Amino acid sequence: MCDFNRPRLHILGLIFVGLMLTVAAPVEAQRAYEPLFDKFSFKAELSWVGMGTSIGLYDDELDLGGVLNFEDDLDLGNRKTTPSLDFEWQIGKRHRLAGRWQGLNRGSNAQALTDIEWGDEIIPVDADVSLTFDLTQFFIDYTFYPWVKERWALGFGIGLRWMDISTSLAWDLQGGEEVGSQNADVTAPLPYLYIEYRRLLTEKWRMILGAGILDLTIGDISGSQYIARAGFEYLIGKRWSVGGAFNYADVDAEAKNVTGDLGLANFRMTIDMDIWDLSLFGRVRF
């Protein structure tokens, strides 16, 4: 089993969430800027998700390993329909806390068309390969708005993308002549800087645009990530709204000193993921 050892990243994530709540809590709530903002809202989405996933596992000492593109090499489906959940909490005129959850579980069965190097294992040609890939991600971001006008607002902040990835790869030859497996579990909070622009297009239509980026190295972990969001919604009275949104997220990361099965090897792992979705949603506004 391969597992990232990320104690410093976990501590960073907990400190980050604590700081956001500490900053936001003392601010007096106001409703003067509705409907540009909602005091509090909960959003349920139905998302059509597309993914591109490439994960590499290397044993540099033995000069073994390689990259697997899960969709191209192992026939993992790159489309899935899944629910997503969001919340937004406007704490006063200039402070907002928001979060988004999404879970994606996929699996495939394929035949290896050539020898595949994966960590310190070699999957032989013609082997039957089964793959299970589970991803849960949660975004949370705090935004401060220096500019708040009657019909638009612009803010800057910091966000945290918490990812929980579980990968299981198993293979055997016809007749069960050879069996092998390799697992990889990754859990990490990834921070990013964030900017948001929102505008009332009419009395009933609201637009929200956002983007985030960060490139950092912490210990044996290095990487970059980018996110983007664009949403349009129609306001129905004081309590409801419906709309659509586009979300995009990209992660390109590398970790060294990853422990392999039985603790016998130190691997280097690379992750390159693109996730995009189109969503239809309904929002309850409080």
Beta-carbon-side half-sphere exposure of residue 109 (alpha carbons within 13 Å): 2
Residue 178 has pLDDT above 70, yes or no: no
Q: What is the pLDDT of residue 5?
A: 44
Q: What is the pLDDT of residue 258?
A: 66
Residue 50 lies in a domain: yes
pLDDT digits (tens, 9 = 90+) for 153-166: 999 999 888 888 88
Region 158-183: what's the mean pLDDT?
79
Task: Name which residue leads in pLDDT, 19 or 107.
Answer: 107
The residue with tokens 């980018």 is 226
pLDDT digits (tens, 9 = 90+) for 251-273: 888 877 765 554 444 677 788 98
* Host H or E run for residue 21: helix 7-24
Bond into 26 cis (ω within 30)? no
Q: Are strands 152-172 and 128-148 parallel, antiparallel or unpaired?
A: antiparallel
Residue 115 has pLDDT above 80, yes or no: yes
Q: Which residues contact 194 (CB under 8 A, 6 or more apart)?
A: 141, 143, 156, 157, 158, 159, 210, 211, 212, 227
CATH of the domain at 20: 2.40.128.90
Percent residues over pLDDT 70 in the chain: 82
pLDDT digits (tens, 9 = 90+) for 132-149: 989 898 989 999 999 999
Residue 275 lies in a domain: yes
The tokens describing 8, both together, are: 């410093």
Residue 32 lies in a domain: no
Minimum mean pLDDT range among 85-89, 120-124, 190-194: 120-124
| Residue 20 pLDDT class (50, 70, 90 cuts) | low
Count up the domains in the chain and report the number.
1
Residue 79 lies in a domain: yes
Residue 33 lies in a domain: no
- Structural domain boundaries, residue 190: 2-26+43-285
| Residue 33 pLDDT class (50, 70, 90 cuts) | confident
Residue 31 lies in a domain: no
Region 187-203: what's the mean pLDDT?
89
Angstrom distance (rounded) from CA 184 to CA 65: 14
Q: What is the pLDDT of residue 98?
A: 94
Region 1-10: what's the mean pLDDT?
46
Residue 185 has pLDDT above 80, yes or no: no
